[in-house]
Structure formats: structure tokens, C-alpha cells
Structure 1
């Protein structure tokens, strides 16, 4: 009797479990198989052609960005260090002739040294090599114009490749957004074609679309930060170079003392 009661209870429990379990779903313990996980690398490899092109462009932008950041950092650091050494030599020199005789080979990375060389060469040309000869007002104005043009050229040289950083920083997010929009559009097309809005159908498309946005931000954020940093450094040097150009012209007017 007790055995029959236990069998009835077991049959009732099994019937209840079968009723609760949704139709078409496999038992959780069947085969012990875990649900398939999405792999970002596989999503990129199996992405649509337009999304792959967007990712390649953004990857190229990121590589170029870091190359420019590294090269420009070395450029500005050398210019700053050599300029500090040159300005000490310039301030301690008794005359422009004495500084020129020391040689400028030790200050090759300094834009100030090149500005000085330009102004000094023009002063020597106007005085025909006569030391200590003062310049008249017209000659002094001409030397000042020469040194200011040299300073402007040095500023342009310091700003080289910075426009590329600005371009990457401003365009990379929009290129990534294009990849995102295309990926989401592709996801909706898959829903319409398969007549199914299940998550396994939509998730891979949306995930690869969001990867494009993420890579776009990865390329843009360092570019914008580096551009602002370098622009501030170049601006600091530009202010000093403009005053230095006027200083060289004024000393040339006094005969290079």
C-alpha cells in the first residue's frame, strides 16, 4: 500500500515539472552542455564586410596616432632641452659674435639656435663682416623681419603632424558610429528575414556593431588628449620665440653686443 502511494506521488511530481517547463526547451542537465558564449575576436572575424572595413580603418588610425604621439614627444622634448641650454649660452655670451664662434652644433634641436643663426647671418651680410657696426633703422627693421619669419617657420615645424592628430580625434568616432549604424541595420534585416527576434539572432550583430564604436573611441581619445597637450607645449615655445626674435634684432641693431 505504501509503495503504491509513493509511486502516485512520484508520477504527480513528474507531471507537474513537465507542465512548468516551457515547450521546446531542452532539459538543463541534458548532456551537461553549457550555453555558447560570444567571443569578441570571433565576432570581428565573422563580421560583415563594411564593418570589417571600418574596423581596419580605425585600427590604422590608432597605429598612426601612437606613432605620431611617440615621434612628436621626442621632437618637443629635444627642442625643449636644447633650447634651455642655448638660452643659457645666449644670455651668458658677451656678444653675438662670441656666441657664433662657440658653434651651434650642440644646439641642433633648438629652434632658438636656428632663429639666432638666421638673424646673425643677416647682420653679418648687412655689415659686410665688420664687427661692432651699428645698424640703421631700416636695417634693424629688416633683421627683425627676418628673425620673426624664422620664428614663424620654427613654430610651423613644431606643429607638424599635429593636424593629423586633430583629424583622427574628430573623425574616428563618426567612422565608428557608421560601423555601429550599419551593424544594427544588419541585425534588423536578420530579424526580418528570419521572422525571429530571438536574442541569439540579434546579439552577434549588435555586439559587432558596438565593437566598432569602442575602437573608434580608442583611436579618438588619445588623439584629442595628445593634440591638446602638444598644442599647449608649442604655444609656450611660440610666445618665447617671438620675444627672442625681437631680442636678437635689437642686439643686432646695437652691433651685436
Structure 2
């Protein structure tokens, strides 16, 4: 007796359970492939953008180039920081295009109160942009977690119901030999196997994607610190 025949011979409740699990599985795999493609493209575009950012001569050029990397979360953080920095520099009648040389000194202790507020504004903008990107990356991952938690119990429900039917049939037939019990129990256990087959890939994918989100959050935080250092030099020069 193979799995196909077990599914065909299963009762109405077991078939309904299998249909529900099939829906969960199809949605999970669709989400897995979609998220995997998005994360891979985001990683590739982030690497290309960081190369552009670190090799450019002014921020305006970087901003224009960043429009080509729409899937990178780091680009979104940069664009928000650039807009905030541009407003602050224009307010101070400076030029955001003035790229500071590497040997220029950072803000001195005496100057720190002057630039503390603008840098804090930029820092908050960067943090807010990072949080938005993390929330976007985590979108729909809750479905994978839900599938991993719920699917085994849905399958177990089908199994319990099937075993109840099997024992009810045994009671009506008045026979409790192995030949009478085995087919019904086997039909019932197929739902447990289906539940585990649905849950395991979802749990693995959820943990993998969650790790990717955390890694991207760290990369955005590190880029934010790098951008803040550059913004500090630009603000000093614009004064």
C-alpha cells in the first residue's frame, strides 16, 4: 500500500486536513522562493552600492547612482540620510558636494555642541530608515513561523480522527486483529507525515531568513556609522 492509495482511501476529514496542509505548503514554498530571490538580489545590490559609495568623489553622484539599486536596504538608509544632510547643509549655506579629504580633522571638543544636534537628527533619520527596512524584510515571515507551529498539530488532528474512525470500525466489525487495524491506522498516520513535511521546510526557511534579516540589520547599522562619520566632516567643512 503506497502513499497515493492511502490518500485516496482516507476518510473525508483526513482528506480535508491534507487539503489544508497542501495549501499551507504551497504558500510556504511560494514565500520561500520569493524571499530567497529578494534577499539574494538585495545582497548583490548592496555590495555594488557600497563599492560605488566608497569610490565616489561626492555624495550627489552617489545619490544619483543609488537609484539603480532599488532592492538594497542600505540604499534606502543612505537616501534618507542624504536628504537630511542636504537640508542641514543648505541651512548652513554649505555644499553637500564638498567631499572632505581623509586627512581632515574631525570635530573638536569645543565645536561639538554646534554639531551635536544636526548629527543627532541624521542619526535618528538613519535609525528610522533602518527600522523601516528591517520591518519590510521581516514582512510575511510570520506566515512561515505559523506554518511551522501549526502544521504538525493539524496533521495530528487528522491522525487522531482517523484512529478514532479505525477503532469505531473495529468495534462494529467485532475483530481486532492486525489485518483489520493496520489499514485504518496507516491511513490516519499519513496526515501526521504530511504535517511534518509541511512544517519542517517552513521552520528551516524561517530561521534562515531571520538570520539574513539580522545580518542586514547589522550591515545597515555599520553603514549608518560610516555615513555619520562622513556627515560630521561635511558639516564641519560647511561651517
Q: TM-score w.r.t. structure 1 length? A: 0.79
Using CA pairs under 8 Å that are at least 6 residues apart, name the structure with larger relative contact order, 1 or 2: 2
CA contact (8 A) 1:140 1:250 kept: no
| In structure 1, distance between residues paired with 2:233 and 2:144 | 44
Task: Supply the distance in 2 between the matched residues of 1:151 and 1:245 (Cα, whole angstroms).
Answer: 9
Asked if residue 116 in structure 1 is aligned to residue 95 in structure 2, the reply is: no
Look up the match of 1:127. Answer: 89
Bigger CA drift: 71-80 or 170-179? 170-179
Could you tell me which residue of structure 1 aligns to residue 37 of structure 2? 74
Partners in 2 of 1:46 and 1:181 — Cα distance? 16
Q: For 1:125 and 1:239, how far apart are their aligned partners in 2?
A: 27
The corresponding residue for 1:196 is 175
* Unmatched runs of 5 consecutive residues or more in structure 1: 1-37
1:200 CA drift (Å): 4.1
1:161 is matched with 140
Counterpart in the other structure of 1:87 = 50
> How far apart are 1:202 and its partner, in Å?
2.1
Structure 2: tracts of 5 or more residues without a match: 99-106, 108-113
Using the size of structure 2 for normalisation, the TM-score is: 0.84
1:148 aligns with 2:127: yes
- Report Cα offsets for 1:27-53 as digits up to 9, x if no partner: xxxxxxxxxxx3532332332222111
* 2:68 match: secondary structure: helix
Q: Separation in 1 of the partners of 2:27 and 2:87?
A: 44
| Equivalent residues of 1:58, 1:215 under 8 A apart | yes
Aligned pairs, number? 219
Aligned to 1:6: none
Match of 1:97?
Answer: 60
Preserved contact between residue 28 and residue 147 of structure 2 (Cα < 8 Å): yes
CA distance in 2 between counterparts of 1:109 and 1:41 reads 43
Over residues 199-244 of structure 1, what are the superposed CA-to-partner deviations in whole Å (9 max), with x where a residue is unaligned? 4432221111111011111111111111111122222111111121
Cα contact 1:148–1:246 (8 A) shared by 2 = no
- Structure number with larger C-alpha Rg: 1
Q: Which residue of 1 aligns with 2:103?
A: none
SS at match of 1:94: coil
Which residue of structure 1 lines up, in the alignment, with residue 154 of structure 2? 175
Q: Contact 2:9–2:187 at 8 Å: present in 1 too?
A: no
**Partners in 1 of 2:12 and 2:195 — Cα distance?**
17
Provide Cα deviations, 1:101-120, integer angstroms capped at 9, x if missing partner.
x4323211111111110010
In angstroms, what is the RMSD of aligned CA positions?
A: 2.0
Structure 2: how far apart are the matches of 1:123 and 1:40? 63
